[in-house]
C-alpha cells in the first residue's frame, strides 16, 4: 500500500478517534507526507504555546526549533519511506531542554 494511502487512512481514523486523543494526557501531533500537521490535540497546543486549531494545517516546522528543522524534515521523510518504531529521548532518560515555541520545555 502506498504511504500516502496509509497516511490518509490514519488521518481519517485519527479524526474519528479525536475524542479519545483529546482525553490523553500527552501531546499528540499527526503529520502527513507534506509535513503538514493533520491532527493535533489541545495538549500539544499547550505544550507548543499555540491554540490547537492554529496548528492544524500548518507546516510542522512551526513547532520544530530552527536548529533542528532540516534534520527533522529528513527524519520524517525517512520514516514515511520506511516506517520503523524508534524510542525518543535520551538513552539515559535524563530530560532534554530544547526551545519550543516561545518558551523552553523539558522533554524526557
Q: How far is residue 40 from each of residues 58, 82, 92, measured CA to CA in Å?
A: 11, 23, 28
**37 touches 52 (CB < 8 A):** no
User: What is the rounded distance in angstroms from the CA atom of residue 91 to the CA atom of residue 88?
Assistant: 8
What CATH number does the domain located at 3-107 have? 3.30.450.20
Question: Mind listing the pLDDT tens digit of every residue in the chain (108 residues)?
Answer: 455 666 677 666 767 888 888 999 999 998 989 999 988 999 999 999 999 889 999 999 999 999 999 999 999 999 899 888 766 666 665 655 554 444 444 454
> Does this model's pTM top 0.75?
no
User: What is the rounded distance in angstroms from the CA atom of residue 91 to the CA atom of residue 5?
Assistant: 33
Amino acid at each position: 500500500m502506498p504511504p500516502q494511502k496509509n497516511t490518509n487512512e490514519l488521518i481519517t481514523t485519527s479524526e474519528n478517534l479525536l475524542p479519545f486523543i483529546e482525553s490523553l494526557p500527552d501531546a499528540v501531533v499527526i503529520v502527513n507526507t507534506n509535513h503538514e500537521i493533520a491532527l493535533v490535540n489541545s495538549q500539544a497546543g499547550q505544550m507548543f504555546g499555540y491554540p490547537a486549531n492554529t496548528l492544524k494545517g500548518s507546516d510542522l516546522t512551526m513547532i520544530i526549533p530552527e536548529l533542528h528543522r532540516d534534520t527533522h524534515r529528513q527524519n520524517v521523510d525517512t520514516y514515511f519511506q520506511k516506517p520503523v518504531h524508534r524510542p525518543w529521548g535520551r538513552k539515559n532518560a535524563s530530560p532534554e531542554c530544547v526551545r519550543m515555541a516561545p518558551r523552553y520545555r523539558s522533554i524526557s
